[in-house]
Amino acid sequence: MVFESLSEKLQNALGKLKGKGKLTEKDVDIAMREVKLALLEADVNFKVVKKFINDVKERAVGSEVMESLTPGQQVIKIVNEELTKLMGESESKLEFSSNPPTVILMCGLQGAGKTTTAGKLALLLKKQNKRPLLVACDVYRPAAIKQLEVVGERVSVPVFTMGDKNDPVDIAKAGVEHGKKNGNDIVIIDTAGRLHIDENLMEELQNIKEAVNPREILLVVDSMTGQDAVTVAETFNEKLDITGVVLTKLDGDARGGAALSIRAVTEKPIKFAGMGEKMEQLEPFHPDRMASRILGMGDVLSLIEKAQESFDAKKAQELEKRIRNQQFTFDDFLDQLEQMKNLGPLDEVIGMIPGVNTKKLKDLNVDEKELDRIQAIIQSMTPKEREDPSIIDSSRRKRIANGSGTSVQEVNKLLKQFKETKKMMKKFTDMEKTIKKKGKFG
Ligand code: GDP
């Protein structure tokens, strides 16, 4: 899970303050020492850590906090606000040119995820009714052009190429012209990377920048590389004056050092976060939501947005009606399971729910396989059985267990749970009816 180890340590350090009715300066000191260690272990830039701790302390030992009824909570609130500030306060959106096409220059070291991110960004913009064009300017790596073409195909976005015999600056210019002629309002330029920062690369990027005057220069960095990513960002920013950062591979970053330092060190916003290898897995970066997630306060807004994306409103209405009429069947149940899986990996989803801290999450032992088994059991039922589980006798149970590769006990357990769920649903709808009949205050 994102920032798992940092999150666990911070929650440990701050958890001790939570229950206290009164706080002394020493309590705050001790907690802050732990917070400092946690941040340093997470590979956050030491200057950033120093300033962060000072800022929090200064606010936390004020009389307003110490004398409040819930001083511990107040300190956590301050940490939350300062973490948010560290990552940039609020979401920083892409800027668009008033005179299209908007040119977006992607840069970064090899392997950071530039090409993948170019494709993801094209998809995201396409969903916003834009008409992006991808331009292949990496003429050095043999497979780079092909890779961008494959990515373009995956997201159904056109790719402009001129092979590997031309100068990248000329390709970039021609790409923008091509976009103009073809009504593309966004042109995303994928450039070459190197294993390390080198002068030639920087010069080439500067030349492309001069030639096409991009509205956005997005630096793509691998968040798992921690402070190295911060150094890379500093250098690229010096040479190119970037407009924003895309942090990739955040899905595998348990520490969060790059995410927490880059903004403070470069003063450039993190605009997007890569959350996986799939084309859909690019998210706008929300500092406030990220801070809440780190502190185990959940990220309800992202959860709702994800749910809205993957839930079908009409289906939800139908489902509600079926629940009210007590017609909820195993088919509905199956539907729900599938929609839930669409939200993403279960532990990630659960991590967005407030109050679930990562440590407890491990104890919970959320098992994605369990969902697969339930799905298999339902899929092994006949349509009739799904409609009316009361006909499932012992021989049918055996058949279902065999068909789904599970055991009769598991089938029994699911049938029992389903029965209980239906009973609960009936109780709720009955209760609702009674309340309605009596009137709101009756
Ligand atoms: P480039 O050399 O900078 O163009 O990097 P690529 O786009 O080829 O990406 C390098 C590797 O990182 C590929 O295997 C990608 O699938 C992977 N990758 C890119 N972004 C992400 C991300 O957000 N999460 C994960 N888990 N993998 C990513």
The amino acid at 106: M
Which DSSP letter does residue 88 get?
T
Smallest Cα–Cα separation from 372: which of 342, 343, 401, 341?
Answer: 341
Structure-block tokens of residue 208 = 């492309």
The answer to whether residue 401 sits within a structural domain is: yes
**127 CB-near residues (< 8 Å, 6+ apart):** none
**Residue 208 has what pLDDT?**
97
Same domain, 191 and 261: yes
**78 to each of 32, 56, 205, 292, 352, how far by Cα in Å?**
12, 6, 41, 12, 20
**Closest Cα to atom 5, ligand 1: which residue?**
113
Same domain, 275 and 331: no
CA of 121 to the centre of ligand 1 (A): 13
Give the separation between CA 175 and CA 333, rounded to whole angstroms: 49
CA of 40 to the centre of ligand 1 (A): 26
Same domain, 348 and 272: no
Atom of ligand 1 nearest to the CA of 274: 23
The answer to whether residue 412 sits within a structural domain is: yes
Q: How many structural domains does the chain have?
A: 3
Domain holding 411, by residue range, is 305-438
**Residue 1 has what pLDDT?**
65
Q: Which residue is it, tokens 């309002």? A: 185
Mean pLDDT by 10 residues, the chain (442 residues): 84 83 85 94 94 93 75 86 92 93 97 96 96 96 92 97 94 97 97 87 96 97 94 96 96 90 95 94 92 77 66 71 80 79 67 58 61 89 92 94 93 89 77 66 40
**Residue 355 has what pLDDT?**
55
**Residue 441 has what pLDDT?**
44
Q: What is the CATH classification number for the domain harbouring 17? A: 1.20.120.140
Same domain, 130 and 210: yes
Total residue count of the chain as it appears in this document:
442
For 20, half-sphere exposure in the C-beta direction (CA atoms, 13 angstrom radius) is 21
The answer to whether residue 311 sits within a structural domain is: yes
The answer to whether residue 93 sits within a structural domain is: no
**218 in Cβ contact with 271 (< 8 Å):** yes
Structure-block tokens of residue 335 = 């539907």
Count the helices and strands in the chain (H runs, E runs): 21, 8
Give the separation between CA 236 and CA 265, rounded to whole angstroms: 12
State the maximum Cα–Cα separation within the chain, in Å, rounded to a whole number. Answer: 81
Structure-block tokens of residue 307 = 């749910």
**404 in Cβ contact with 393 (< 8 Å):** no
For 368, half-sphere exposure in the C-beta direction (CA atoms, 13 angstrom radius) is 12
**Residue 73 has what pLDDT?**
80
What does DSSP say about strands 270-274 and 216-222: parallel, antiparallel, or unpaired? Answer: unpaired
Q: What is the CATH classification number for the domain harbouring 225? A: 3.40.50.300
In angstroms, the first-to-last Cα distance of the chain is 47
Q: What is the CATH classification number for the domain harbouring 370? A: 1.10.260.30
Same domain, 355 and 424: yes
Q: Which helix (H) or strand (E) holds 188?
A: strand 186-190
Q: What is the DSSP string of 277-298?
A: SSTT-EEE--HHHHHHHHTT--
The answer to whether residue 153 sits within a structural domain is: yes
Chosen domain end from 266, 295, 324: 295
Cα Rg for the chain, rounded, in angstroms?
Answer: 26
Asked, as a colleague might, if the bond just before 101 is cis with ω within 30 of 0, I would say yes
Same domain, 278 and 232: yes
Structure confidence by residue, pLDDT tens digits, 120-163: 999 999 999 999 999 999 999 879 999 999 999 999 999 999 99
**353 to each of 16, 45, 46, how far by Cα in Å?**
21, 29, 31
**Residue 359 has what pLDDT?**
54
CA of 116 to the centre of ligand 1 (A): 6
**Residue 337 has what pLDDT?**
76
Same domain, 313 and 376: yes
Which DSSP letter does residue 93 get?
P
Q: Is the pTM of this model over 0.80?
A: no
ipTM: 0.99
Atom of ligand 1 nearest to the CA of 276: 24
Atom of ligand 1 nearest to the CA of 120: 20
**7 in Cβ contact with 296 (< 8 Å):** yes
The answer to whether residue 349 sits within a structural domain is: yes
The answer to whether residue 94 sits within a structural domain is: no
Give the separation between CA 288 and CA 93, rounded to whole angstroms: 14
Same domain, 69 and 121: no
**Closest Cα to atom 26, ligand 1: which residue?**
276
Q: Which residue is it, tokens 């834009």? A: 130
Same domain, 49 and 117: no
**Residue 434 has what pLDDT?**
74
Chosen domain end from 230, 262, 295: 295
Same domain, 276 and 362: no
Structure confidence by residue, pLDDT tens digits, 54-90: 999 998 887 777 777 778 888 888 999 999 999 998 8
Taking each helix axis from N to C end, the angle separating 4-18 and 287-294, rounded to the nearest 10 degrees, works out to 70
**251 in Cβ contact with 241 (< 8 Å):** no
Same domain, 261 and 329: no
Give the separation between CA 403 and CA 377, rounded to whole angstroms: 8
Same domain, 129 and 55: no
Chosen domain end from 295, 319, 353: 295
**216 in Cβ contact with 102 (< 8 Å):** yes
Smallest Cα–Cα separation from 411: which of 420, 424, 402, 423?
Answer: 402
Residues within a 6 A CB radius of ligand 1: 108, 110-116, 193, 248-249, 251-252, 274-277
Q: Which residues are annotated as a binding site for GTP?
A: 108-115, 190-194, 248-251
The answer to whether residue 325 sits within a structural domain is: yes
Q: Which residue is it, tokens 């300066």? A: 25
**Closest Cα to atom 9, ligand 1: which residue?**
113
